[in-house]
């Protein structure tokens, strides 16, 4: 059975800034504190966390939504890519970001806390400074 979950948080920056940082190699690297190679083009592949995460941009709605295929080096060869949807909404304190992660293999719930630890917390620091 495929695993799915949702995580949300508030990032102290405008949705345009958070969206742009997610899809810019230098900004993504600085935002997470780990090497990344990303793109703002549909169909382009990406890597994050020094190659631990790989995937492809499937749909991009400027400043509002990113949909990607997504996997880590912990996926088995037979595991299909998971589906990652990231939504950016204006909020009085910056951006309300929602991550919906679905089609994950059985071990996939570990990534729920991973989004908080490896993205939301570093993003708070990056945009808060």
pLDDT tens, 24-59?
A: 999 999 999 999 999 999 999 999 999 999 999 999
Domain count, the chain: 1
Measured distance CA(57)–CA(13) in Å, rounded? 23
pTM, full prediction: 0.95
Q: 9: which 2 tokens?
A: 């948080």
In eight-state DSSP terms, residue 63 is T
CATH number at residue 68: 3.30.530.20
The whole domain housing 80 covers: 3-128
């Amino acid at each position: 059975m495929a695993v799915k979950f949702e995580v949300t948080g508030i990032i102290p920056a405008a949705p345009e800034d958070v969206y742009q940082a997610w899809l810019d190699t230098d900004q993504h690297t600085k935002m997470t504190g780990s090497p990344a190679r990303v793109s703002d083009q549909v169909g382009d592949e990406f890597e994050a966390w020094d190659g631990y995460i790989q995937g492809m941009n499937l749909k991009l709605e400027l400043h509002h939504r990113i949909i990607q295929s997504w996997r880590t080096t912990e996926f088995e060869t037979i595991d299909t890519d998971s589906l990652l949807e990231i939504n950016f909404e204006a909020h009085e304190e910056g951006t309300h970001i929602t991550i919906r992660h679905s089609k994950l293999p059985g071990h996939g719930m570990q990534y729920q806390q991973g989004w908080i630890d490896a993205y939301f917390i570093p993003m708070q620091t990056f945009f808060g400074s």
